[in-house]
Amino acid sequence: MELEERVNKSVVKLLPFCPDGIVHRAASPYLAGETLEEALQLAAALQRMRFMFTIDCLGEESDNVDQWRQVVKEYCTILEQLREEDPASNISIKLSHIGLGKEGLGKRVVLDHVRQVVMKAELRGKFVRFDMEDHERKDATIQIYQQLRKEGFMNLGIALQAYLRSSIEDVEDIAALEPKPNVRLCKGIYNPPERIAYKNPDDIRRNFALLLSQMLHAGFTVGIATHDEALIEHAKDLASDLRLPQESYEFQMLLGVRPNLAGQMVQNGYRLRLYLPYGNWATQAKPYCFRRFRENPAMVSHVLHNLLRKEVGGMEAYAEAVNGRYPSR
Ligand SMILES: Cc1cc2nc3c(=O)[nH]c(=O)nc-3n(C[C@H](O)[C@H](O)[C@H](O)COP(=O)(O)OP(=O)(O)OC[C@H]3O[C@@H](n4cnc5c(N)ncnc54)[C@H](O)[C@@H]3O)c2cc1C
């Protein structure tokens, strides 16, 4: 095991013993707040800086029926609060949060739950994206997406992961849909076994580029979700070579990650959407962060690297990158 990997794993083991205040402060640039109200305030400020945004209510993997219903209600409330006429705002949802178990367990119940959210979104003229979770939920997530598309819901998209060897076939599979799918392409954040996933960063990057090209040539709308500058430059060149209309692709980043890069891209006229997760620190955000770190200790390096090159920050960092000032309104 490499030294960096060992250090990351040790830090993750020590996290539960760190004072809560320190962990909270370290995590706060990546969180949009503890309540929907806080998240919407932050979203409005980012929007004034020309960022688009996706709201995500933190939490996942629950076997509590009442909790699933509560989450459905929360997403409906978010949709009510988003301005109807505003195409720059949408929501993202983890299907495990509303009942999807491993190997597709509970698929029927999830379909009922998510249909309520998608119907509400349709009424409000809003778009809903399903996050892609661990590989054991991947097929069910795609099937639920296809079922709802078959039912006529067009305000719907999914995410695909470039580390999965099967993503190429998944793209072929959904390419038959008309209108063409709207897919967020990301590298993938879970830790699937090598038999189904690329592990080498160069292989993942190569597959990302391949999938991106496959989807754009097939007429998909693509959310290019990465902070990897090499891939971002590649995507810009590809979009320019293909003379893609602006609305057929956008860049997407996580709140707090590489704000300088995000701001520069907006300033250069690219459409960029920030992913804004919110949730109560003790019951939603902290367990979520710890789980992510345990699943993917490499995130420790990301956070430390960003701190070292001062590429982490809240609103001020975005404002500075976009126009050198923080909007007061
Ligand atoms: C908008 C958005 C939505 C996503 N949705 C999903 C999803 O549905 N399913 C899924 O499996 N994954 C999702 N991801 C996560 C994604 O799969 C990657 O794990 C993550 O983006 C890191 O990969 P990267 O392409 O940015 O490249 P990397 O090479 O991993 O990162 C490039 C640089 O970005 C910075 N960085 C990246 N991630 C972080 C982080 N978490 N914290 C701090 N710094 C970071 C670091 O500086 C790093 O050096 C999403 C990512 C984004 C941006």
User: What are the tens digits of pLDDT across the range 232-289?
Assistant: 999 999 999 999 999 999 999 999 989 999 999 999 999 999 999 999 999 999 888 8
**Is 199 domain-assigned?**
yes
Cα angle value 249/320/28 (rounded, 5°): 80
**Is 250 domain-assigned?**
yes
131 in active site = yes
SS3 call for 292? helix
**Is 91 domain-assigned?**
yes
Q: Which residue, by CA, sits nearest to atom 48 of ligand 1?
A: 302
115 in active site = no
CA distance 33 to 55: 11
Task: Please give the number of the atom of ligand 1 that sits closest to the Cα of 253.
Answer: 53
What was the pLDDT predicted at 329?
42
Which residue among the candidates 129, 137, 149, 184 is catalytic per the annotation? 184
Which among 203, 222, 227, 304 is the best mutation to test ligand 1's pocket, defined by most ligand atoms within 8 Å of the CB?
Answer: 227
CA 262 to each of CA 17, 219, 272: distance values in angstroms, whole numbers, following the listed order: 33, 25, 7
Q: Which residue, by CA, sits nearest to atom 17 of ligand 1?
A: 188
Tell how far the Cα of 323 is from the centroid of ligand 1, in angstroms: 25
**Is 195 domain-assigned?**
yes
- The total number of structural domains that make up the chain: 1
Contacts of 212 (CB under 8 A, 6+ apart): 185, 222, 224, 234, 235, 238
The model's confidence at residue 310, banded by pLDDT at 50, 70 and 90, is low
DSSP structural state of residue 30: G
Phi/psi for 159 (5° steps) reads -120, 145
The structure's pTM equals 0.93
Q: Report the candidate in 301, 302, 286, 312 with the shortest Cα–Cα distance to residue 15.
A: 286
**Is 329 domain-assigned?**
no
Q: For residue 12, give the amino acid letter.
A: V
Q: Provide, rounded to the nearest whole percent, the portion of the chain with pLDDT above 70.
A: 95
270 lies in which domain range?
Answer: 3-323
Does position 176 have pLDDT exceeding 90, yes or no? yes
Q: Would you say the CB of residue 235 lies under 6 angstroms from ligand 1?
A: no
CATH number of 172's domain: 3.20.20.220
